[in-house]
Amino acid sequence: MFKLFNIDAHFLESAISRIMTNVDKDSDAMISPQEFYQLLSQKFEKGDPKSEIQDVFNRMDKNHDGQLDIDEMHEVSTILGENIPKSEIKDMIKMFNRKYQEDLKKYNMDKKKPNSGAKEPVEPRTLDMEDFYSVMQEDL
């Protein structure tokens, strides 16, 4: 995380140990997606300025296209010392992409209707700032 914000971490070993102690609740020496979310949630609470969340989003958005893709999110997880498979990140994107979730809900309702011809929505490959903001404001 310190590398993400361009902070020299060589003298922060004890701080990193404290973070792991506080974040790694199941003591498996890894930060799970849920623990990672809890770590991010410690920074953001309902009512925090959107500009602060936008700043973190912009730092993660390496190609500056306004979208967080699988590779960008994988890079952040790697910087944080996690080895989250890209398939799991893809699943997270599907879960938190609001448009996809709306389309999926509509598809599931439509496919129950006879002769609906409902087509399954295309799986998303990114999260936009609004998706990211929504996740940072949610209580998971």
138 close to 130: Cβ distance less than 8 angstroms: no
The whole-number pLDDT of residue 121 equals 94
pLDDT (tens digit, 9 = 90+) per residue, 27-84? 787 777 777 766 665 555 666 778 888 888 998 999 999 999 999 999 888 887 777 8
Q: What is the pLDDT of residues 5-24, one digit of tens each?
A: 666 655 556 656 766 776 77
- The most distant pair of C-alpha atoms in the chain lies apart, rounded to whole Å, by 65
pTM above 0.75, yes or no: no
| Pair 106, 126: CB distance under 8 Å | no
Would you kindly state where each structural domain of the chain is located, as residue ranges? 8-38, 48-139
pLDDT of residue 94: 94
Rounded distance between C-alpha atoms, residue 103 and residue 115, angstroms: 18
In terms of CATH, what superfamily is 48-139? EF-hand (1.10.238.10)
